[in-house]
Amino acid sequence: MTSSLAQRLEALKARIRRAERAAGREEGSVRLIAVSKTQPPEALVAAYGLGQREFGENYLQEAEAKQDRLAHFDIGWHFIGPLQSNKTRPIAARFAWVHGVDRIKIAQRLSEQRPAGMPPLNICLQVNVSGEASKSGVSPEELPELAAAVAALPRLRLRGLMAIPAPTDAVEAQRAAFRAVRRAFEGLSRYGLDTLSMGMSEDLEAAVLEGATLVRIGTALFGARPPKA
Ligand SMILES: *Cc1c(COP(=O)(O)O)cnc(C)c1O
Protein backbone atom coordinates (compact mmCIF):
# COMPACT_ATOMS: atom_id res chain seq x y z
CA MET A 1 0.00 0.00 0.00
CA THR A 2 1.32 3.44 -0.86
CA SER A 3 1.03 5.83 2.00
CA SER A 4 0.04 9.42 1.42
CA LEU A 5 2.44 12.33 1.48
CA ALA A 6 0.88 13.45 4.76
CA GLN A 7 1.58 10.06 6.34
CA ARG A 8 5.16 10.01 5.08
CA LEU A 9 5.81 13.53 6.35
CA GLU A 10 4.42 12.61 9.77
CA ALA A 11 6.52 9.43 9.88
CA LEU A 12 9.60 11.37 8.84
CA LYS A 13 9.08 14.02 11.49
CA ALA A 14 8.61 11.26 14.06
CA ARG A 15 11.93 9.72 12.95
CA ILE A 16 13.65 13.08 13.35
CA ARG A 17 12.09 13.62 16.80
CA ARG A 18 13.16 10.13 17.93
CA ALA A 19 16.69 10.78 16.73
CA GLU A 20 16.80 14.14 18.50
CA ARG A 21 15.68 12.45 21.70
CA ALA A 22 18.19 9.61 21.33
CA ALA A 23 20.93 12.20 20.86
CA GLY A 24 19.79 14.12 23.94
CA ARG A 25 19.07 17.11 21.77
CA GLU A 26 16.28 19.60 21.96
CA GLU A 27 13.14 18.84 19.98
CA GLY A 28 13.07 20.96 16.86
CA SER A 29 16.84 21.41 16.70
CA VAL A 30 17.00 19.60 13.34
CA ARG A 31 15.55 21.30 10.27
CA LEU A 32 14.01 19.30 7.47
CA ILE A 33 14.87 20.22 3.90
CA ALA A 34 12.51 18.46 1.50
CA VAL A 35 14.58 17.32 -1.47
CA SER A 36 12.18 17.75 -4.37
CA LYS A 37 14.46 16.98 -7.35
CA THR A 38 12.57 15.13 -10.11
CA GLN A 39 9.26 15.83 -8.34
CA PRO A 40 6.58 17.80 -10.19
CA PRO A 41 5.51 21.22 -8.82
CA GLU A 42 2.30 19.61 -7.52
CA ALA A 43 4.33 17.54 -5.08
CA LEU A 44 5.92 20.68 -3.65
CA VAL A 45 2.53 22.38 -3.41
CA ALA A 46 1.18 19.37 -1.51
CA ALA A 47 4.12 19.39 0.92
CA TYR A 48 3.76 23.16 1.30
CA GLY A 49 0.11 22.65 2.19
CA LEU A 50 1.29 20.36 4.99
CA GLY A 51 3.54 23.09 6.36
CA GLN A 52 6.86 22.31 4.67
CA ARG A 53 8.64 25.55 3.74
CA GLU A 54 12.19 24.59 2.72
CA PHE A 55 12.99 22.65 -0.43
CA GLY A 56 16.22 21.37 -1.93
CA GLU A 57 16.82 21.12 -5.67
CA ASN A 58 19.77 19.64 -7.58
CA TYR A 59 19.21 20.59 -11.20
CA LEU A 60 19.11 24.27 -12.10
CA GLN A 61 16.75 24.19 -15.09
CA GLU A 62 14.28 21.97 -13.31
CA ALA A 63 14.46 24.19 -10.24
CA GLU A 64 13.92 27.37 -12.25
CA ALA A 65 10.70 26.01 -13.75
CA LYS A 66 9.34 25.15 -10.31
CA GLN A 67 10.43 28.47 -8.81
CA ASP A 68 8.59 30.33 -11.56
CA ARG A 69 5.46 28.26 -11.05
CA LEU A 70 5.59 28.65 -7.25
CA ALA A 71 6.76 32.27 -7.10
CA HIS A 72 3.81 33.28 -4.91
CA PHE A 73 4.68 30.73 -2.19
CA ASP A 74 6.91 31.59 0.74
CA ILE A 75 9.56 28.94 0.03
CA GLY A 76 13.18 28.83 1.16
CA TRP A 77 15.10 27.35 -1.78
CA HIS A 78 18.30 25.36 -1.22
CA PHE A 79 20.58 24.48 -4.10
CA ILE A 80 22.13 21.12 -3.22
CA GLY A 81 23.38 19.89 -6.60
CA PRO A 82 26.80 19.93 -8.20
CA LEU A 83 27.98 23.46 -9.04
CA GLN A 84 29.32 24.48 -12.42
CA SER A 85 30.88 27.88 -12.81
CA ASN A 86 28.78 28.76 -15.87
CA LYS A 87 25.58 28.34 -13.79
CA THR A 88 26.42 30.40 -10.74
CA ARG A 89 24.57 33.57 -11.82
CA PRO A 90 21.01 32.18 -11.72
CA ILE A 91 21.85 30.19 -8.60
CA ALA A 92 23.08 33.36 -6.85
CA ALA A 93 19.86 35.15 -7.81
CA ARG A 94 17.31 32.43 -7.13
CA PHE A 95 18.34 30.54 -3.99
CA ALA A 96 18.63 31.38 -0.30
CA TRP A 97 21.19 28.63 0.37
CA VAL A 98 23.89 26.81 -1.59
CA HIS A 99 25.21 23.60 -0.03
CA GLY A 100 27.83 22.18 -2.33
CA VAL A 101 30.55 24.85 -2.41
CA ASP A 102 33.98 23.22 -2.56
CA ARG A 103 36.07 25.67 -4.63
CA ILE A 104 37.00 29.29 -4.04
CA LYS A 105 36.36 30.18 -7.68
CA ILE A 106 32.71 29.14 -7.39
CA ALA A 107 32.35 31.04 -4.11
CA GLN A 108 33.83 34.20 -5.65
CA ARG A 109 31.41 34.04 -8.54
CA LEU A 110 28.42 33.50 -6.24
CA SER A 111 29.47 36.50 -4.15
CA GLU A 112 29.98 38.75 -7.18
CA GLN A 113 26.68 37.64 -8.70
CA ARG A 114 24.46 37.81 -5.62
CA PRO A 115 22.04 40.65 -6.45
CA ALA A 116 22.52 43.76 -4.32
CA GLY A 117 18.94 43.91 -3.07
CA MET A 118 19.04 40.41 -1.59
CA PRO A 119 20.44 39.31 1.78
CA PRO A 120 23.81 37.53 1.66
CA LEU A 121 23.67 34.03 0.19
CA ASN A 122 23.92 31.32 2.86
CA ILE A 123 26.76 28.89 2.15
CA CYS A 124 27.66 25.42 3.35
CA LEU A 125 31.05 24.13 2.28
CA GLN A 126 31.01 20.55 1.09
CA VAL A 127 33.62 18.46 2.83
CA ASN A 128 34.72 15.06 1.58
CA VAL A 129 35.34 12.65 4.43
CA SER A 130 35.13 9.53 2.28
CA GLY A 131 38.37 10.00 0.33
CA GLU A 132 38.39 8.20 -2.99
CA ALA A 133 34.69 7.34 -2.80
CA SER A 134 33.62 10.85 -3.81
CA LYS A 135 34.90 13.33 -6.32
CA SER A 136 33.24 16.40 -4.89
CA GLY A 137 33.96 18.15 -1.64
CA VAL A 138 37.07 19.74 -0.23
CA SER A 139 39.38 17.52 1.83
CA PRO A 140 39.46 18.17 5.59
CA GLU A 141 43.09 19.29 5.12
CA GLU A 142 42.18 21.97 2.58
CA LEU A 143 39.01 23.05 4.36
CA PRO A 144 40.49 25.76 6.66
CA GLU A 145 41.92 27.71 3.74
CA LEU A 146 38.65 27.54 1.79
CA ALA A 147 36.63 28.55 4.86
CA ALA A 148 38.84 31.59 5.47
CA ALA A 149 38.48 32.70 1.85
CA VAL A 150 34.71 32.21 1.76
CA ALA A 151 34.18 33.93 5.12
CA ALA A 152 35.84 37.03 3.66
CA LEU A 153 33.52 37.32 0.64
CA PRO A 154 31.09 40.21 1.08
CA ARG A 155 27.88 38.81 -0.43
CA LEU A 156 28.10 35.35 1.13
CA ARG A 157 27.37 34.23 4.67
CA LEU A 158 29.31 31.14 5.64
CA ARG A 159 26.87 29.03 7.69
CA GLY A 160 28.51 25.64 7.97
CA LEU A 161 29.41 22.36 6.34
CA MET A 162 27.62 19.88 4.15
CA ALA A 163 28.59 16.28 3.46
CA ILE A 164 27.41 13.24 1.53
CA PRO A 165 29.46 10.34 2.95
CA ALA A 166 29.80 7.13 0.95
CA PRO A 167 26.58 5.15 1.44
CA THR A 168 26.76 2.21 3.83
CA ASP A 169 24.20 0.21 5.81
CA ALA A 170 26.53 -0.04 8.78
CA VAL A 171 25.38 2.52 11.31
CA GLU A 172 28.79 2.67 12.98
CA ALA A 173 30.45 3.54 9.66
CA GLN A 174 27.76 6.17 8.98
CA ARG A 175 28.40 7.69 12.37
CA ALA A 176 32.17 7.67 11.94
CA ALA A 177 31.86 9.65 8.70
CA PHE A 178 29.45 12.18 10.20
CA ARG A 179 31.69 12.48 13.24
CA ALA A 180 34.57 13.42 10.97
CA VAL A 181 32.40 16.17 9.47
CA ARG A 182 31.49 17.42 12.92
CA ARG A 183 35.15 17.53 13.94
CA ALA A 184 35.95 19.58 10.86
CA PHE A 185 33.04 21.86 11.78
CA GLU A 186 34.34 22.28 15.32
CA GLY A 187 37.71 23.24 13.91
CA LEU A 188 36.05 26.26 12.29
CA SER A 189 34.43 27.61 15.47
CA ARG A 190 36.00 31.05 14.97
CA TYR A 191 33.53 31.70 12.15
CA GLY A 192 30.46 31.26 14.34
CA LEU A 193 28.94 28.59 12.11
CA ASP A 194 25.50 27.21 12.96
CA THR A 195 24.72 24.63 10.27
CA LEU A 196 25.72 21.02 9.80
CA SER A 197 23.92 19.85 6.66
CA MET A 198 24.13 16.07 6.74
CA GLY A 199 21.80 13.09 6.71
CA MET A 200 19.54 11.73 3.97
CA SER A 201 16.72 9.16 3.91
CA GLU A 202 18.98 6.20 4.75
CA ASP A 203 21.23 7.71 7.38
CA LEU A 204 19.44 10.58 9.07
CA GLU A 205 19.52 8.94 12.53
CA ALA A 206 23.31 8.60 12.45
CA ALA A 207 23.63 12.19 11.23
CA VAL A 208 21.40 13.58 13.99
CA LEU A 209 23.32 11.58 16.61
CA GLU A 210 26.50 13.26 15.35
CA GLY A 211 25.09 16.77 15.39
CA ALA A 212 23.29 17.44 12.10
CA THR A 213 21.21 20.62 12.29
CA LEU A 214 19.68 20.20 8.87
CA VAL A 215 18.77 16.95 7.10
CA ARG A 216 18.11 16.74 3.37
CA ILE A 217 15.40 14.16 2.70
CA GLY A 218 13.91 13.12 -0.63
CA THR A 219 12.95 9.46 -0.94
CA ALA A 220 11.52 9.02 2.57
CA LEU A 221 9.18 11.95 1.91
CA PHE A 222 8.24 11.85 -1.77
CA GLY A 223 8.86 8.17 -2.50
CA ALA A 224 11.36 6.61 -4.90
CA ARG A 225 12.58 8.82 -7.74
CA PRO A 226 12.41 7.65 -11.33
CA PRO A 227 15.81 6.39 -12.51
CA LYS A 228 17.89 9.18 -14.03
CA ALA A 229 17.86 9.24 -17.84
C1 LIG B 1 19.11 13.49 -3.64
C2 LIG B 1 19.83 14.14 -2.53
C3 LIG B 1 19.38 14.07 -1.21
C4 LIG B 1 18.17 13.25 -0.79
O5 LIG B 1 18.44 11.90 -0.87
P6 LIG B 1 17.37 10.80 -0.39
O7 LIG B 1 18.19 9.58 -0.21
O8 LIG B 1 16.36 10.69 -1.47
O9 LIG B 1 16.77 11.28 0.88
C10 LIG B 1 20.08 14.76 -0.24
N11 LIG B 1 21.16 15.49 -0.54
C12 LIG B 1 21.64 15.59 -1.78
C13 LIG B 1 22.84 16.41 -2.05
C14 LIG B 1 21.00 14.91 -2.82
O15 LIG B 1 21.51 14.99 -4.06
* 217 close to ligand 1 (CB < 6 Angstrom): yes
* 98 close to ligand 1 (CB < 6 Angstrom): no
* Residues 221 and 48: beta-carbon distance below 8 Å: no
Low pLDDT (below 70) residues in the chain: 1-2, 132-133, 228-229
CA contacts within 13 A on the Cβ side of 24: 1
What is the rounded CA–CA span in Å between residue 174 and residue 178? 6
| pLDDT recorded at residue 26 | 97
Question: 130 to each of 113, 124, 133, 135, 181, how far by Cα in Å?
Answer: 31, 18, 6, 9, 10
For the chain, which domains are there? 2-222 (3.20.20.10)
The CA 153 to ligand 1 mean position distance, Å, reads: 28
Q: CA nearest 150: which of 180, 127, 128? A: 127
* Closest atom, ligand 1, to C-alpha of 201: 9
The CA 110 to ligand 1 mean position distance, Å, reads: 23
* Residues 19 and 210: beta-carbon distance below 8 Å: no
The helix or strand, by DSSP H or E, that contains position 100, with its residue range, turns out to be strand 97-101
* Closest atom, ligand 1, to C-alpha of 37: 1
* Residues 15 and 200: beta-carbon distance below 8 Å: no
* 218 close to ligand 1 (CB < 6 Angstrom): yes
pTM of the model: 0.96
